[in-house]
Chain A
């Protein structure tokens, strides 16, 4: 492998690679991220490769295994180039037909095309599909063109061009000014201005500085960082290198969860490739800039996503936050000035340098610029990764991109920002996704998890779920977070189990204030958000639980009972067979009855009944 010791060599390599790419007759892009592998992509790839060998097409057809494209609901996905033909839900059995018809004859297999669930219209290319059409995919669109295990793919698409541009003619101050001008704000949740952070670190004296990429993503339902690191690791490496050049760091770390094995593997592979090409190491591209990246694997503690806990973890200490009276840009990793940014923040840097801050700042709102990736999950039709310009309304994301409710129930709320965020009701769906607007509404942008909930979700139960998560994931160092969250969970559990007293709601509020004001780190300070936001927007549900001892959504088991409507019941006996506790009695053709003493409220009979005769209430 040639060492690229000057910029002209990089450009020459790029030209060579582009020529080589053009020599292929067809390129089959098969997504192969963690989510796709779960959907069975490995079998698909195996059988496609076998078919290609059988037809002797290995040299003409290029198979590119990429990371996730974002449309996780319809994976495995195959895209054909040229032409951009888009197939979804491909199985291993389809391989033969794929090669025989589409590759050899250029025919379209109608069965594998994406079909809109509402209009039943079929779409041939990715661009036409409403899910993609409504988005503004600046980062995610790159995933399609890059095999994460191939630096050649990345370079041929113009990769490391921003680095070359930086190293040959942009002073660190100018880089920082450019990033500051762009208005890029930290994508990990805090929303601090990236340029300002870099400037503060740059101004710190000392020649030992660090840059860190935070890939310790732990929010339930969020996976955009994993996807980016898995799909395009070189983009993040390039971003980190530009950041390191700007602040004067020689060493970088990627802190990634051990639970993301593919991301760890791809990042490690990418680093080794970059080292082999001389893009990491001493005197990069023949300049005086030297930089290297190491991977630090996290054990999967949620709290290690907090900056000081993360740095303690890299140092080999217990991952507990420390008070941040002195900021990490002044004294961070090994007490040296450190810049810590989220995966998505780093990924945005190369394009800012290459295309200028103006093109980045042209998208978004006054306070929040650029695009943001959200992990859209929950009760919507199209779950997946969604990238939209800042300022897009929640309504657009949930209904236009997400396709609305999955099972016909009306949508009630969306939970943004993970355990530190809050639940916003439908009445607030006009809100734009913008750091300040969401914080004002009592939620937060967070790292970008978005869980959509419908009428079948009890908001008190949601609060209980997040409190339970936070109680287990709190590091336990400071009293308000360790004991306060635990007591909040105790109270909320009381409420969901029918022991709630009216004064407990006030106590819950007071406790929430104590935890958010008194805790040591951001995890504790934002821990009461799920409770506070559900109380703010869904107070009637709390009141129903406490005063009427009723769960309006029919979720809290202690507060509901199952009864059979005597007129609707046809006496088919299906529920009698289905009930694992033998709680349903009755004769054939006569209305059945549920014995409430034996009923464990598992809900199996409701799912089995064909006449909607079983009522929850």
Chain B
């Protein structure tokens, strides 16, 4: 039988089954914590750091990712404090500066409150969220994709750089890739990247409602509870 625990997220009491993550519990109750690398059927790694929350324990709060944090009885979680919002904004800013040509990343950036980007844009093809790698290895067990190298050299690649026979051609890697959603106005030219901010007009309506989110394309592949 499922065992349930009660925890507090952003002041509201939430009941969740033991073993679920704080992020899953929050999404189920419509508390939108932005996230990128989390995919429902896969294990979580805490790589994108967008879903960071404040975990208050014994009067001290620690910053941790909600996707890797399992629910516990009486836990107190704050997902919308000033500190978390600022951190999340800075992380989203780093991401969007890396890959402005993704609608998903642009949306996340706007939703996290990025107003302008203070770094030169880089226009990379990959933000290394690892969604494709984990889908390939954990869901299909194909192991046709993986991370290669470390630090600046790290990238997603086939084993030894050649597409292996055991790639099932399922296309999940493309489906789950945040880069496959192009911005509304089409891809930006090199050197002309900008924060497109198309979702900002919708965002202004929800200002003041903590945890409220925008109806955006993000929901499609990215598990936002309020997409309907």
A511 touches B90 (CB 8 A): yes
Which residues of A are found within 8 Å of B78, using beta-carbon distances?
none
Residues of B contacting A520 in the complex (Cβ-Cβ under 8 angstroms): 46-47, 49, 65
Residue from B49, B69, B153 within 8 A of A480 (CB atoms): B49
Q: Does A220 contact B (CB under 8 A)?
A: no
- Say which residue of A323, A325, A474, A479 sits within 8 Å of B91 (CB atoms): A479
Complexed CA–CA distance, A486 and B45 (Å): 21
Contact B147 A476 (CB under 8 A): yes
User: Are the CB atoms of B150 and A303 closer together than 8 Å?
Assistant: yes
Majority secondary structure, A binding face: helix
Nearest opposing residue in chain B for A491, CB measure: B119
Please name all residues of chain B whose beta carbon is closer than 8 Å to the beta carbon of A475 when the two chains form the complex. 150-151, 154
- Complex interface: chain A residues within 8 A of B90 (CB): 510-511, 514, 518
Question: Which residue on chain A has the smallest CB distance to residue B89?
Answer: A514
Specify which of A471, A475, A476, A479 lies most central, judged by the most chain B CB atoms within 10 Å of its CB: A479
Contact status B87-A517, CB under 8 Å: yes
Count of A-B residue pairs with CB < 8 Å: 92
Interchain nearest-CB distance for B61 vs A (Å): 11
- Give B46-80 as 1s and 0s: 1 = Cβ < 8 Å from A's Cβ atoms: 11111010000000000111001110000000000
Residues in B with CB closer than 8 Å to A507 are: 118
Docked complex Cα distance between A473 and B63 (Å):
24
Q: What's the nearest-Cβ distance from chain A to residue B160, in Å?
A: 15
Which residues does chain A contribute within 8 Å of B46, judged by CB atoms? 322-323, 478, 520
Q: Which residues of A contact B150 (CB under 8 A)?
A: 301, 303, 472-476
Q: A487-B119, A511-B90, A514-B91 are in contact. Are A479 and B49 (CB under 8 A)?
A: yes
Interface string of A464-492 (1 = CB under 8 A from B): 00000001111111111011101100100
When distances are taken between beta carbons in the complex, the residues of chain A under 8 Å from B91 are 479-480, 484, 514, 518
List of B residues within 8 angstroms of A483 by Cβ:
94-95, 97-98
Is B20's CB within 8 Å of the partner chain A? Answer: no
Counting contact residues on chain B (CB < 8 A from A), the size range is 35 or more
Min CB distance A295 to B, Å, is: 23
Residue interface bits B196-224, CB-to-A below 8 A is 1, else 0: 00000000000000000000000000000
Please, which residue of chain B has its CB at the minimum distance from the CB of A503? B118
Closest residue of chain A to B44 (Cβ to Cβ) is A323
CA distance A486 to B47 in the complex (A): 16
Residue of A with least CB distance to B90: A514
Interface positions of B from 74 to 121, Cβ below 8 Å from A: 83, 87, 90-91, 94-95, 97-98, 118-120
How far, in angstroms, from A518 to B45 measured CA to CA in the complex?
14
A479 contacts B48, C-beta separation under 8 Å:
yes
Of the residues A301, A325, A474, A514, contact of B68 by C-beta under 8 Å:
A325
Known: A479-B94, A520-B49. A323 touches B151 (CB 8 A): no
The complex places the Cα of A586 from the Cα of B43 at a distance, in Å, of 71
B16-49 interface bits toward A, Cβ cutoff 8 Å, 1 = contact, 0 = none: 0000000000000000000000000000011111
* Bound Cα distance from A325 to B69, whole angstroms: 7
Taking a contact as CB atoms under 8 Å apart, the answer to whether B151 and A487 are in contact is: no
CA A487 to CA B90, docked complex, whole Å: 12
A sample of 23 cross-chain residue pairs with beta-carbon separation below 8 angstroms, ordered by A number, consists of A318-B147, A471-B151, A473-B150, A474-B150, A476-B149, A476-B152, A476-B153, A477-B45, A477-B47, A477-B130, A478-B47, A478-B48, A479-B47, A479-B48, A479-B91, A484-B91, A484-B94, A510-B90, A514-B90, A514-B91, A514-B94, A518-B87, A518-B91
Binding site for A on B (CB under 8 A): 45-50, 52, 63-65, 68-70, 83, 87, 90-91, 94-95, 97-98, 118-120, 127-128, 130, 146-147, 149-154
New A-B pairs, 8, CB < 8 Å, besides A486-B152, A511-B90: A323-B64, A323-B68, A472-B151, A473-B151, A476-B149, A514-B90, A517-B63, A518-B91
Residues of chain A having any CB pair with chain B under 8 Å: 301, 303, 318, 322-323, 325, 471-480, 482-484, 486-487, 490, 507, 510-511, 514, 517-520
The 4 A-B residue pairs with the shortest CB-CB distance in the complex, in nearest-first order: A476-B154, A514-B90, A323-B68, A483-B94
